[in-house]
């Protein structure tokens, strides 16, 4: 697996704004969403980088903001959760209009019924929709996809997105790309956006970062528009620790 740590370290100087995915990027993936392990050093590392960067560090994750706050209660930066459908900025939380709506409830009910028909699949519900996971039963990918597509087609304002061993139904106008665009437009010409992520849902955010004069880092395998690649979350944390010691970021 390619490890571009040295090149990324050299690239990461001069006004970078770090936008980090969570699962598969800062922490290893687990069989279930709640089964992840938070490295002890992650809390201090993120806090230190946030201070060193003058606040130019945020999380951009598929996880809900409240869930990320549980895992990282001391994280001082902004958080874009639920693929951009939620945002905690400056301590204030904003949420997509569909949160808590009958449409989201319909999606969750339909997903619950669908998962009951797919042995081994599991359901993750969010205030913004639902996720059908099939990590434990890879052979169920086609059935999970078909179910998610049908649910999304019947839900106005919602759409299906592919993730690692999962299919998510969420608001059609929520995206990590939108989150990165928000950061970029809020700092016109003054930052170099840097997106680090591991999944297909991060690629659209990477496109925005590249177009804005920044760069992207793909964690793990898979096709990517990123110029650089790291093998795993351990390599990401090692890179961040190196950046924390740099004189100029």
**Mean pLDDT to the nearest integer, 174-187:** 96
- In a 3-state reduction of DSSP, which class is residue 108? helix
CA distance linking residue 194 with residue 9, whole number of Å: 12
**Mean pLDDT to the nearest integer, 118-128:** 96
Q: Quick one: DSSP state of residue 27?
A: B
Q: Are 225 and 215 within 8 A, CB to CB? A: no
* Per-residue b or e along 154-182, where b marks 16 or more CB atoms closer than 10 Å to that residue's CB: ebeebbbbebebbbbbbbeebbbbbbbbb
Pairing between β-strand 158-163 and β-strand 92-95 as defined by DSSP bridges: unpaired
- In a 3-state reduction of DSSP, which class is residue 183? helix
**Model confidence at 191, in pLDDT bands (50, 70, 90)?**
very high
Q: Please, which residues have CB within 8 angstroms of residue 104's CB and are 6 or more apart in sequence? A: 98, 127, 128, 129, 158
- Whether residue 13 is predicted with pLDDT greater than 90 in this model: the reply is no
Dihedrals phi, psi of 226, to nearest 5 degrees? -70, 145
CA distance linking residue 175 with residue 80, whole number of Å: 10
The pLDDT score that the predictor gives to residue 231 is: 98
- The predicted model scores a pTM of 0.93
- Whether residue 247 is predicted with pLDDT greater than 70 in this model: the reply is no
- Whether residue 180 is predicted with pLDDT greater than 80 in this model: the reply is yes
**Mean pLDDT to the nearest integer, 224-246:** 95
CA distance linking residue 134 with residue 144, whole number of Å: 7
Q: Are 110 and 188 within 8 A, CB to CB? A: no
The crossing angle, in degrees rounded to 10, of helices 233-245 and 40-52 is 40
The pLDDT score that the predictor gives to residue 248 is: 64
pLDDT in tens, 128-148: 999 999 999 999 999 999 999
- Whether residue 209 is predicted with pLDDT greater than 90 in this model: the reply is yes
Q: Are 49 and 55 within 8 A, CB to CB? A: no
The crossing angle, in degrees rounded to 10, of helices 141-153 and 102-116 is 150
pLDDT in tens, 36-75: 999 999 999 999 999 999 999 999 999 999 999 999 999 9
**Model confidence at 32, in pLDDT bands (50, 70, 90)?**
confident
From 161, 192, 170, 193, select the one nearest 81 (Cα to Cα): 170
The pLDDT score that the predictor gives to residue 33 is: 86
Whole-number average pLDDT of the chain: 95
């Amino acid at each position: 697996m390619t490890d571009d740590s040295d090149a990324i370290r050299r690239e990461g100087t001069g006004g970078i704004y770090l936008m980090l995915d969570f699962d598969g990027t800062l922490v290893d993936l687990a069989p279930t969403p709640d089964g992840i392990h938070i490295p002890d050093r992650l809390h201090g590392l993120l806090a230190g980088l946030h201070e060193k960067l003058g606040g130019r560090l945020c999380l951009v994750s598929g996880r809900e903001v409240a869930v990320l706050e549980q895992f990282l209660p001391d994280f001082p930066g902004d958080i874009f959760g639920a693929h951009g459908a939620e945002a905690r900025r400056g301590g204030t939380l904003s949420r997509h209009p569909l949160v808590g709506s009958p449409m989201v409830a319909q999606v969750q009910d339909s997903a619950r019924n669908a998962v009951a028909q797919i042995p081994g699949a599991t359901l993750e519900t969010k205030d913004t929709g639902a996720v059908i996971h099939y990590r434990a039963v890879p052979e169920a990918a086609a059935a999970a996809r078909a179910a998610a597509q049908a649910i999304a087609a019947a839900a106005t304002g919602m759409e299906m997105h592919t993730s690692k061993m999962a299919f998510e139904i969420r608001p059609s106008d929520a995206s990590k790309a939108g989150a990165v665009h928000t950061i970029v437009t809020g700092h016109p010409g003054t930052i170099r956006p840097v997106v680090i992520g591991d999944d297909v849902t991060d690629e659209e955010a990477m496109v925005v970062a590249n177009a804005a004069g920044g760069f992207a880092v793909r964690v793990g395998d898979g096709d990517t528009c990123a110029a650089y690649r790291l093998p795993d979350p351990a390599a990401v944390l090692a890179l961040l620790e190196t950046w924390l010691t740099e004189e100029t970021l």
